[in-house]
Structure 1
């Protein structure tokens, strides 16, 4: 007669296998180029937000830009795909977690990504989209939204500077060799240059204006090349990650799950 005790079998069955246990990580990884492609379409040909117009643009040019119907289409497209942005940061954070560094660096990257996306992506979208949504706004209101949008977009890079500075330091201090050390030094150097965005709040003309040679063009060339290099290094890190480091464990066959 049974006393109601549930016992596990003497020998557990073999652990189920999956052909590619990194499939979920690869799916998240391959959304990154898709999102950045949509991001580029939204900000360059569709809305014309990039390259940025001059802070000293004439009133007529500002009004034409803010009244563009394409701005609303761009905002709708960005809203539909904005949720993919955290996936790229999540893929990076998975590999920072593998490093022999303090969690404070990982949390700094995570919080910096959240604050940077709000100020550097959502604020410009709402400013420019708001100007196009209702054409009855006065010229002075549209000019304020125009300034607000570009100052948020170009002048808020301090969030990303701290975020990727933590990423670079994590790579440099890591003893596990998750990512190459040179990438850490390159990352720190690259994001020190983002400090050049600060003068956009002071300069309306010249190389330090929000459309200037140093503040925008130099920074965007460095950022674009750096982003491609990081993407390739993360690809290699995923490919080389041992299966025993993966956290998506399968339950053992025959084990008893108690309520």
Structure 2
């Protein structure tokens, strides 16, 4: 047997390992739950409820009332309530790879806490505002208008937490010496963060390019964010695939009869 043939045997043997016995199975389960969540999220917000693309801040009051009393909103909110639990899984995929980076844990903690705050403001608040408006008929039009404003401003205008978390993610990629994710993704992430800053005027302008449905505050953000979301998960996929098994937390099996560290303390 020559050296070349011998060197290829471990790789060939590794490829024959059943996927159910892979030490990365837990990571892959988390990873593949993410596109399921985002597809469900898109269905709820677009064809089911038509909450997105966002309706105009200056919509006539009768149109606002008709939208807020739609039965589809209740169905959308019921589905989103069930799907909401998958949001932390998507963030865990980021955090697992950030743990491998040669950067201070503060970056990882910033992303984690920012994602928690962002999910509350950017997902739960709109969910309850739109769902509450449709839950019971007979609300005064002024109350429905307030819930309409509250829901959209929370969804489009919740900036600070997302600014912090994506800046931490982008900087972590750029400062990482282990090259877990490509450097160009760090620069792209910084540009994605800039779109959050552009959305700040939604609290001031009720129409035009800087309204919550405007060219700058919504459509520019979508133009940058949607491709970024696809690209980042392709990069995460490659990072999981290429991660050495000896880096995995579950890589070291405990020897029979040996107590785990800290037992009896």
Return the TM-score normalized by structure 2. 0.89
How far off its partner does 1:118 sit? 0.3
Cα distance in 2 for residues equivalent to 1:243 and 1:86: 24
CA distance in 1, matches of 2:251, 2:237: 22
1:240 aligns with 2:242: yes
- The gaps in structure 1 that reach 5 residues or longer are 1-16
The reply to whether residue 80 of structure 1 matches residue 91 of structure 2 is: no
* Aligned position for 1:159: 161
What is the deviation of 1:250? Answer: 4.8
Distance 2:104 2:235 in 1: 21
* Residue in structure 1 matched with residue 109 of structure 2 by the alignment: 107
Secondary structure of the structure 1 residue equivalent to 2:102: coil
| Counterpart-to-counterpart distance in 1, 2:258 and 2:190 | 49
Instruction: Answer whether contact 2:246 2:252 (CA < 8 A) is retained.
Output: no
Superimposed CA distance per residue, residues 22-81 of structure 1 (whole angstroms, 9 cap, x where no aligned partner): 000000000000000000001001111100110000011001100000000000000111
Where does residue 256 of structure 1 map in the other structure?
258
Distance in 2, Cα, partners of 1:193 & 1:81:
26
In structure 2, C-alpha distance between the alignment counterparts of 1:254 and 1:196, rounded to whole Å? 58
Q: Secondary structure at the match of 1:136?
A: coil
Query: How do residues 45-194 of structure 1 correspond to structure 2 at under 5 angstroms?
Result: 45-194=47-196
Contact 2:99 / 2:105 at 8 angstroms: preserved in 1?
Answer: yes
1:190-229 mapped onto 2 (5 Å cutoff):
190-229=192-231
Mapped partners of 2:120, 2:197: distance in 1? 19
Match of 1:28 among 8, 27, 30: 30
Listed one character per residue, the Cα deviations across residues 102-137 of structure 1 (whole Å, up to 9, x for unaligned) are 010000000000000000000001000000001111
Between 105-114 and 190-199, the greater mean CA deviation after superposition: 190-199
Partners of 2:51 and 2:200 lie apart in 1 by: 19
Find the partner of 2:42 among 30, 35, 40.
Answer: 40
Once residues 152 and 54 of structure 2 are traced to their aligned partners in structure 1, the CA distance between those partners, rounded to angstroms, is 7
Q: Which has the higher contact order (CA 8 A, sep 6+)?
A: 1
Of residues 18, 21, 25 in structure 2, which corresponds to 1:19? 21
Question: Scaled by the length of structure 1, what TM-score is found?
Answer: 0.91
Secondary structure of 1:252 counterpart = coil
Question: How far apart, CA to CA, are the structure 2 residues paired with 1:193 and 1:77?
Answer: 28
Give the gaps of 5 or more residues in structure 2.
1-17
Report the Cα distance in structure 2 between the residues aligned to 1:221 and 1:26, rounded to whole angstroms. Answer: 28
Q: Matches of 2:45 and 2:68 in 1, distance apart?
A: 14
User: What's the RMSD between the two structures over aligned residues?
Assistant: 1.3
When the two structures are aligned, how many residues end up with a matched partner? 243
